[in-house]
Structure 1
Amino acid sequence: MSLALSPSSTPTLALIALAIEAAVGYPAPLYAAIGHPVTWIGAVIAALDRRLNHDVDSFARRKAAGVLALIAVLALTGGVALAIVLVLRAALPGAAALVAVAVVAASLPAQRSLDVHVRAVADGLDAGLDAGRRAVGMIVGRNTGVLDGAGVARAAIESLAENFSDGIVAPLFWTAVAGLPGGALYKAANTADSMIGHRTPRHEAFGWAAARFDDLVNLPASRLAALWLMAAALVVPGASAAGAWRAIRRDAGGHTSPNAGWPESAMAGALGFALAGPRVYGESLLDAAVMGDGRRDLGAADIRRALTLYRVALGIQAAVLAVVAVAIG
């Protein structure tokens, strides 16, 4: 079996992809020329939403249509990913095919862009509240117009913690488990949830399958993300691994999401913050639980502390993956 498909090579594939993404991200000229896999998957989901999700249909019929749409998206994404692997395997020798597949897989995690966007919020807050609101509006869906400076900082740190889990740890985990098809299937599921998995009148039925499936596939990554953040707290000055553990045990299960509470509570407990809590989406107030029992009056310096913890957690994750790759390979 080619290295590009061998189960023993998938951790190595994930590690190479992670290194490529850390070095160059997803280049802007490439995005301008061909878009991004998420935009391609999103276009398919939007088309299925228009075609299958009809207001006149019953709740049960729309729910069934959502199941069908999710299966179609996963089948198409997985099929394309497997075809890419097979084509590269046929065209290139083993090690070269592995690297070529890793270049494609590097489009799945978003560690570099997450760092850039969260850092921009800290820089924006330094320039003023309006700039901070504009920057955080690029990474959160809540109503940023009602946020004060502390609210902007909390939103950025919450997004950093949650996206560390579902934007980096999860696609890396599934790539390490099942290669490019595994990572691509996860990305399709996560994109479907972000587009149609909300409990709105239009998507409560149609997006049910996407939301539940995303909860399932994010379960291992959310726990791993909390573990990496807790481990990072052991070496980051001023952070507390014990505080992270206490916050996870006390608060993670109280989050509105079965997964987001794990990295958010770990981040909050490690740094002595109190994150989440009530927030506004559009005109609606979401009365959510608080993660952590520390300070809520946060600022740009606290965002940068969270970024430091995040970067160390990335390093720990890469080191563990390297050990797994060597052990299995």
Structure 2
Amino acid sequence: MHAFIAPLALLLERWLGYPQRLVDLIGHPVIWMGRFITFMEKGVDKRERTPRQRRDAGIFTLGILLLVTLVVTLMVQQLLRSFPLGWVLEILVATPFLAQKELGRSVEAVATALRTSLDAGREAVSHIVGRDPQALDEAGVARAAIETLAESTSDGIVAPWFWLVIFGLPGIALYKAINTADSMIGHMNARYRDYGWAAARLDDLVNWLPSRLTAILVTAACFFTPHASPGSAWAIAVRDARKHASPNSGWPESAFAGALGFKLGGARSYDGEVVDLPSFGTGKSELVGSDILRALELYRSTLNVLLGVSVVIGLLGWVA
């Protein structure tokens, strides 16, 4: 049933997304998770505690978050499957944990804004990246958008889909809880180095296979994308992915860079501090708005390949 639901969830979310009206009315599962993490942090993360105590507090926070998520989603899944066509409702419940439509829309908005002005591009990209937008020139804005597109293809789409196929609704929800915790507290700065340790390590673990699968999907998508190179996509991914501080993020970024003949990564500014990061690929680095559109073509082809793979897996699961 998990494998059968997955392609239908991909199709529905790609078509409808998660309506803003629904966000305004009831919020979003990621928002609920974020509020729970904030609530727990206020209660257990005391600055006067030792590093070990803060690490234990972070483990406790993550454990409670995952336990609550597991219990709730198991109850919802059992409830839905008690109805004659409950699997249809299960598809609906799974779609908010995918991000195909919103990711594409947000990145395309950056390309559209750059046609107006650099300031408009900076404003648009500030909604999807954490780096200082005012420090970015046009090439920096375009690179930031494409890097976010590449990384989010993995942790916003492929990884949730992967865990949905493996473990159903609880799987996709637990993955999103881990990923949300990592984005909020899994930072290696003074504030979160200890408290967010468990979230960061577990996020690395659950993204290990999906990130590499994403590079494979991007490589396959090159065959359906004009002027994209499957050979370079895989070669650059294998060569450059290990440069990234994350064991996972380098795979989708390197694959996109190689496929499109771009040079991604490099120095960037966070809160006024310049961080020198490695580069991925050896191609064009002075990117413009039209290059974002090229990356979106590859992104949509990757979604099509993922959907095709998901349909095949679903059919095999149905027959079995």
TM > 0.5 between the two?
A: yes
Q: Which amino acid aligns with 2:211?
A: S
CA RMSD of aligned residues (A): 0.7
Q: How does 1:131-170 map to 2 (within 5 A)?
A: 131-170=120-159
2:168 to 162, 176, 179: 179
Q: Determine if contact 2:111/2:142 at 8 Å carries over to the other structure.
A: yes
Q: Which residue of 1 aligns with 2:205?
A: 216
Secondary structure of the structure 1 residue equivalent to 2:269 = strand
Q: How does 1:1-329 map to 2 (within 5 A)?
A: 9-90=1-82, 92-93=83-84, 96-329=85-318
**In 2, Cα distance between the equivalents of 1:23 and 1:120?**
18
Cα deviations by residue, 1:149-183 (Å, 9 ceiling, x for unpaired): 00000000000000000000010100011000000
| 1:235, distance to aligned residue in structure 2 (A) | 2.2
**In 2, Cα distance between the equivalents of 1:89 and 1:272?**
47
| 1:128, distance to aligned residue in structure 2 (A) | 0.6
TM-score (norm 2): 0.98
Q: Which amino acid aligns with 2:27?
A: G
Name the % identity. Answer: 47
Secondary structure of the structure 2 residue equivalent to 1:152 = helix
Q: Which amino acid aligns with 1:152?
A: V
**In 2, Cα distance between the equivalents of 1:147 and 1:210?**
30
TM-score (norm 1): 0.96
**In 2, Cα distance between the equivalents of 1:204 and 1:25?**
34
Q: Which amino acid aligns with 1:260?
A: S
Following TM superposition, where does structure 1 have runs of at least 4 consecutive aligned residues deviating by more than 2 angstroms? none
**In 1, Cα distance between the equivalents of 2:190 and 2:49?**
13
Equivalent pairs, count: 318
Cα deviations by residue, 1:4-53 (Å, 9 ceiling, x for unpaired): xxxxx101111111111011100111110000000000000001111111
Q: Which residue of 2 aligns with 1:5?
A: none
Unaligned stretches of 5+ in structure 1? Answer: 1-8
**In 1, Cα distance between the equivalents of 2:128 and 2:11?**
23
Q: Determine if contact 1:16/1:99 at 8 Å carries over to the other structure.
A: no
